[in-house]
Structure 1
Amino acid sequence: MTHTKRLMIAASSILIASFAAQSQATEFGSPTTAAGVFDFGTGFMPPVTPIGNFSLRIAPYSADSTRNNSGKSTLPKFSLDVLSISLAFIKRTNYKILGGDFGYSAVLPYLDMNLDLTTPPGGKIHGSQQTLGDLQVAPIIIQWDIAPNFGINAQLQIQAPTGDFDKNAPINAGMNHWTYSPALGVTYITSNKIELSSSFQLDFNTKNKDTDYTSGIEYRHEFGIGKIMDAWTVGLGGYYYKQLTDDKGPNVPADGNRAQTIAVGPAIAYFKPGLPALWFHVYKEYHSRNRTQGTSIALRLAQSF
């Protein structure tokens, strides 16, 4: 079996892994949907199977600073640790839309979060929560297999406010607003077995009615560049995240509270017929603005049935 076919069998955990790894909405200084989900195999859905594809993603995220609009640390002591464990399902069908295969997916994350910070002149805040996060569904995914080494898919993701939220709590598993995210995934494999994968996503957020706050439109470009060596793909991955429009609501700063960051690090993937597929990466964030800056680690496993 070619490496491209292995990608098609197992790539669903890239398409539908956790979208809540970084705890809270943009109004609290973190992306609404999690970054670091899409790397190798982004442009391929798994093939049509009787049941579908299931995946598990375990993703710890740790940050020791939160940065202002100039990129400077704003608190003398800050610590955020989030463990996200997500179960996901994706189904590809033979039904055709716009010349591509129709599919759909769902993701449910469980979050274990701990926050500690010190505010001048010495106040201390601690928060923790262990609960389910917001449910995310993609009611429509369209997969175009342009060539054996070239795949493209488009999807609409919807994140529902099903997770716990308390406007007076220091940390929350839920966003307390809806998010609509169109996304495009592309994978191309060269003749010398170099894989180039990218995803492009926009997040459109509704108002948080408890805080009267609306987070701005968010853009994310995630990527994976690697060398295919038999069952393994080894290389670099990462993401560029930038908020495109200002937040709206009470106490929004003059800069609009626009967040951004860049992350990069080693990434590997393993695809072998008959065995679960595996992805692993370690990404370090740099040049963060109006949000946390930390390190994201993720392990993903997927299997079609």
Structure 2
Amino acid sequence: MNHNALISVMTISVGLAVSATTFATENGAPSTAPGIYGFSAGYMPPVTDVGAFSIRSSIYRADKNLDSKGNDKLEKFSQTVKSLSLTHIKMTEHTFQGANYGYGIVIPLLDLDIDGRVPVADIPVVGSDSGLGDIQIIPYILQWHPADNLATNTQLQIQIPTGRYDKDDTITTGLNHWTISPAFNFTYLTEGGFEVSSSFQLDINTENKDTIYTSGMEYRHEFALGQKFTDWTLGLGGFVYKQLTDDKAPTSSNIVNGNRSSVMAIGPELSFFRPGLPFISFHAYKEFKAKNRTQGYTAALLVSQSF
């Protein structure tokens, strides 16, 4: 097994259903979670009989909820998102346009908490929820190897509203709408072992039928830069997230400037791979320059193995 056998992390969903007058997008968070694709983003698992399984554990903590100018919206704010997701990816020997075809599924379990107060009015914003999140299916993955040191793949992810949702609750594990996400990923390795990986993704959201609210189209660029040291790769990773189009809702929702959100994040990233052993990766990111959304820290640990 060579470097092509590294397991790429798949996206998990995080539903944070909070009033659209308080948060950007209806949910106060991206429709699909950022900070997923780091080292080896361009590589999918090898073709095997069973496929590859991965377990990913992550935690996100925020102490700020910011408006379009970067000012606090809520006082004494705190939000915690804990997730555990199981991913299965099956690459096949079938080919299309020179690429191997594959497919996959992501099943997330979430534990959510939020606490804060609306300034002046002193209205509490408190809630918690846990359970199954919105499942993602990946009906196609196409993997190319244009050169020995370059790997690329494209895929389509469809997020299904399987998580619990109630429009009257402050926070829920489900978003109550579908999200379609085309993505392109690549990894380039120099002869000296320096790695450049990137992922580019769009999130296209359908309407939440319970609230007649449609979150705008979202764009995410994730990246990782690092140096290989035998079995280890060490460097920096992060992401740039930006909402490209306005949210749409009934006039009574009082959307300000399209309710568009944006944020950036960066931090250390580490991965380990030795033939015959699981692929392991870890990162810790700090968010900054957030607008119309929360700002905090995130850390994630991934373990993957092909069978």
Question: Under a length normalisation based on structure 2, what TM-score does the superposition of the two structures give?
Answer: 0.94
Counterpart Cα distance in 1 of 2:254 and 2:45: 43
Which one of 1, 5, 14 corresponds to residue 9 of structure 1? Answer: 5
Does 1:28 find its partner at 2:27? yes
2:7/2:52 contact within 8 Å kept: no
Deviation (angstroms), 1:96? 0.5
CA–CA distance in 1 between the matches of 2:136 and 2:69?
33
For 1:64-143, what aligned pairs fall within 5 Å after superposition? 64-120=63-119, 121-143=121-143
Q: Helix, strand or coil for the counterpart of 1:49? A: coil
Query: 2:221 and 2:124 mapped to 1: Cα distance?
Result: 36
Look up the match of 2:176.
Answer: 176
1-structure distance, mates of 2:153, 2:242: 22
Superposed CA offset, 1:233-270 (max 9, x none): 00000000000000000324231000000000000000
Tell me, in whole angstroms, the C-alpha distance in 1 between the residues paired with 2:125 and 2:207.
26
For 1:118-156, what per-residue CA distance to the aligned partner results, in whole angstroms no more than 9, with x for missing partners? 123322232111110000011000000112210000000
For 2:92, give the aligned amino acid.
T
Say yes or no: does 1:222 pair with 2:216.
no
Q: For 1:256, what is the secondary structure of its paired residue?
A: helix
Structure 1 equivalent of residue 256 of structure 2: 254
RMSD: 1.2
Runs of 4 or more, structure 1, over 2 Å off, are: 17-20, 22-26, 120-123
Partner of 2:185: 185
Contact kept in structure 2, 1:266 and 1:282, CA below 8 Å = yes
- Which of 270, 273, 282 pairs up with 1:271? 273
Q: Which runs of 5+ in 1 are unaligned?
A: none
**Shift in Å, 1:74:** 1.0
Q: Which amino acid aligns with 1:43?
A: G
Alignment correspondent of 2:12:
18
Whether the 8 Å contact between 1:113 and 1:129 is mirrored in structure 2 is yes
Report the AA paired with residue 42 of structure 2. G
Aligned length, in residue pairs: 298
Preserved contact between residue 101 and residue 140 of structure 2 (Cα < 8 Å): yes
Kept in 1, the 8 Å contact 2:65–2:72? The answer is yes
| Aligned mates of 1:44, 1:28 — CA distance in 2 | 31
Residue by residue, what CA displacement relative to the aligned partner does 1:16-65 show, whole Å, maximum 9, x if unpaired?
Answer: 24233x64582132100000000100001111011000000000000111
Q: Deviations over 1:64-94 (max 9, x none)?
A: 1111000111111211101010000001001
Residue deviations 1:257-301 (CA, integer Å, cap 9, x gap): 000000000000000111111010000000001111111100000
Which amino acid letter does the alignment assign opposite residue 72 of structure 1? N
Unmatched 5+ stretches in structure 2: 19-24
Paired residues of 2:11 and 2:32 also in contact (CA < 8 A) = no
Match of 1:280 among 279, 282, 291: 282
**Counterparts of 1:80 and 1:217 in 2: how far apart (Å)?**
24
Does the 8 A contact of 1:18 with 1:57 survive in 2? no
Change (3 A) 1:145 1:69: same
TM-score w.r.t. length of structure 1: 0.95
Q: How high is the sequence identity, in percent, across the aligned residues?
A: 49
